[in-house]
Structure 1
Amino acid sequence: MKLIGVDIGGSHISAAQVILENRHAEIANFHEADVDTYGNVESIISAWSEVIQRAKGDLIDVKIGIAMPGPYDYENGVSLIKDQGKMAALYKLSVKNLLAESLAVSPCQISFTNDAEAFLSGESYAGAGKEFQNSIGITLGTGLGSAIKVQEVVKDAKLWTAPFRDGIAEDYIGTGWFKNQAQNKYSLHISGAKDLLAEGFDPQISSELFTEFGRALGEFLFPYLIRLHAEGVILGGKISLAGDYYLPATKSYLETMGYPVPINVSELGEQSALIGACLPFVDK
């Protein structure tokens, strides 16, 4: 049995052959493309199938694991995404059956996994989360992705809507917060956290924003770490790459609260979801 890992987002898809053995993973024949998911059913499925087929190559006996953002009926591969514009044409359709037909494989050869679960599963199998039995996975970017792992079970935590301070978690932890805080506090227009590291950007403002963000992350994580008896946190997403600038504040807050834990940045990067999406076939 050969495994094909697929990671689908709102405007992008990547796919590759995945080789798993003894908590080690290798990626081969990697392909990716941007996809206009505002289009019709045929154009979306065709674009996705083309990339998956390129990764699949001449392989015949394959299992295809797909990491997909929610809301989704993952077991049946049915899209429940309807209010985001992207993928709207696929609402309530069996994407599993549509892809199976397009790729000329059986629907039972395709498995869907929540993208946050796939990230944490991949990192727990072969990356930054290998040492933890209980852990929290957080992806930091335009949105806030989250998953929890308790022993061998990984589940989407849906913490982006969790009540936090004067709003919800995603108001304070993600790209939107950096943009809003830079505008409201310093009258600066930025596109995201990466702008704070640009040459010529005021290092004092950059330091203040990162420190404030890092504290908020620690404050957000603390009750969930306690509740889950978590041994560590795994961070992914674009903002995780700037961890050196805000994680000291996160760790300092957790130490002050009496619950210091390792916070590891993803070792597998974008490959983690490809690997995690294939693990349901291995577990079975």
Structure 2
Amino acid sequence: MYNHYYLAFDVGGLFINGAVLNSRGEIIPNTESYFPSKSNADREELLNHFVHIICRQIGKILDKYFIIDGIGFAFPGPFDYQKGVSFISGVNKFESLYGVDLRTELTVRLKQQKLFLQHASAPFRIVFENNVDMFALGEWTTGKAKEYDRVMFITLGNGTGSAFMENGVLIKNREDIPANGWVYCHPFHDSIVDDYLSMRGILRIAKQLNVHPGLGLKEIADAARSGLEDEKEVFRRFGELLGEMLLLFIKPFQPDALVIGGQICNSHDLFIGEAQKALGNERVAILLSDQTSYRTFVGLSKAIVLAAKARIPEV
């Protein structure tokens, strides 16, 4: 009798978070891991890196008899999720994977790994999904979002992720939301949303205020909390911009709730007040997630099961 597991990876521009989940979608203790993304590496190094972390995660399963039924990757867009092909470009991450059939390339390399061959089920599936879609699905399933009919999701990190959901169903093409549910590429000020509501957006504001150029997000946040005025102003301006951006999409979509996750959300105490001011009289509940990766893993486990039912190509 074998126990069945899934591997889930939340792929970001800076880090890849991984976990092993059981057949009920629960994370196995001591399997949540963090790896560098190596998002600026060349194609071969990146593919080998993915294979390495897959095998590392398989090695964390302590059951004597187990089977891996599938692997789920939550990837940022643009991406052809059905075919497993990345079209990310111009955002300084994963550019070397542009046009690469990741499902095929990873399969070829995994089949050279003894550990994988010993534990992969037949059939076995590699599933690719949008990272924010999976975050939204996980929040709807196990978080506070399920209490609301119409929800907008935003993740703030290396870029600006987004998803729109109504009655538990993701919406991709409708007049009241941006194409594909993506806000990152929407025109904003003299560029696009992604350049302002992201890590580099915060660093841009810091540079304008002559904050020490060597500081990262955590250091700027720590300095702001200690009372340094320039660092506090960085987040105040970020909050204003966030609220201004959100209004562009809240007004037409009219969500009951807004769920914000991502790495920058960990500093929400420094900017969320300004964002709320910018929203004015819009009646929307703002929910802050401190479990972005966990919710994404839950969403991915469900996506792998659904892929099997939908007969997504086998490995």
- TM-score of the alignment, normalized to the shorter chain, above 0.5: yes
Match of 1:170 in 2: 194
Which SS does the other structure have where 1:118 is aligned?
Answer: helix
Partner amino acid, structure 2, of 1:76: K
2:250 aligned to which of 219, 225, 236: 225
Q: 1:265 to 1:145 in 2, by over 3 A?
A: same
Find the counterpart in structure 2 of residue 34 from structure 1.
36
Map Cα deviations across residues 100-120 of structure 1 (whole Å, 9 max, x no partner): 333345786111001222222
Q: Identity rate of aligned residues, in percent? A: 27
Partner of 2:6: 3
The answer to whether residue 175 in structure 2 is matched with residue 150 in structure 1 is: no
- Relative to structure 1, the CA distance from residue 197 to residue 27 in structure 2 (aligned partners, 3 Å threshold; closer, same or farther) is same
Q: 8 Å contact 1:197–1:206 — kept in the other structure?
A: yes
Which of 28, 51, 54 matches 1:52?
54
Please show how residues 116-127 of structure 1 align to structure 2 within 5 Å: 116-127=132-143
CA distance in 1, matches of 2:236, 2:152: 21
Looking at structure 1, the residues matched to 20 and 94 of structure 2 have their Cα atoms a distance apart, in angstroms, of 25
Cα 1:261/1:31, change in 2 over 3 Å: same
Runs of 4+ more than 6 Å apart: none
Distance (whole Å) between structure 2 residues aligned to residue 85 and residue 250 of structure 1: 27
Q: Deviations over 1:182-237 (max 9, x none)?
A: 332x3223444433333586533344332332222122112312322211111122
2:69–2:124: 8 Å Cα contact kept in structure 1? no
Matched to 1:18, the amino acid is L
Gaps of 5+ in 2: 112-119, 173-179, 310-315
Report the 3-state secondary structure (helix = DSSP H, G, I; strand = E; otherwise coil) of the residue aligned with 1:251: helix
Aligned residues: 279
Per the normalisation by structure 1, the TM-score is: 0.83
CA 38–179 in structure 1, closer or farther in 2 if over 3 Å, else same: closer
* Matches of 1:113 and 1:37, distance apart in 2: 18
Contact 1:128–1:266 (8 Å) recurs in 2: no
Looking at structure 2, the residues matched to 67 and 247 of structure 1 have their Cα atoms a distance apart, in angstroms, of: 26
Deviation at 1:244, TM superposition (A): 1.5
Aligned-pair distance for 1:262?
A: 1.7
The aligned counterpart of 1:238 is: 263
**Once the 2 structures are TM-superposed, how far is the Cα of residue 37 of structure 1 from its aligned partner?**
4.7
Instruction: Report if the CA contact (8 A) 2:150-2:255 is conserved.
Output: yes
Conserved in 2, the CA contact under 8 Å of 1:127 and 1:267? no
In the superposition, the TM-score normalised over structure 2's length comes to 0.76
CA contact (8 A) 2:150 2:165 kept: yes
Secondary structure of the structure 1 residue equivalent to 2:268: helix
Equivalent residues in 2 for 1:53-202 (5 A)? 53-56=55-58, 57=61, 59-83=66-90, 86-104=93-111, 109-154=125-170, 155=172, 157-184=181-208, 186-190=209-213, 191-199=215-223, 202=227
Note closer, same or farther for the CA distance 1:216–1:107 as it changes in structure 2 (3 Å cut). Answer: farther
- What residue identity is the alignment partner of 1:180? R
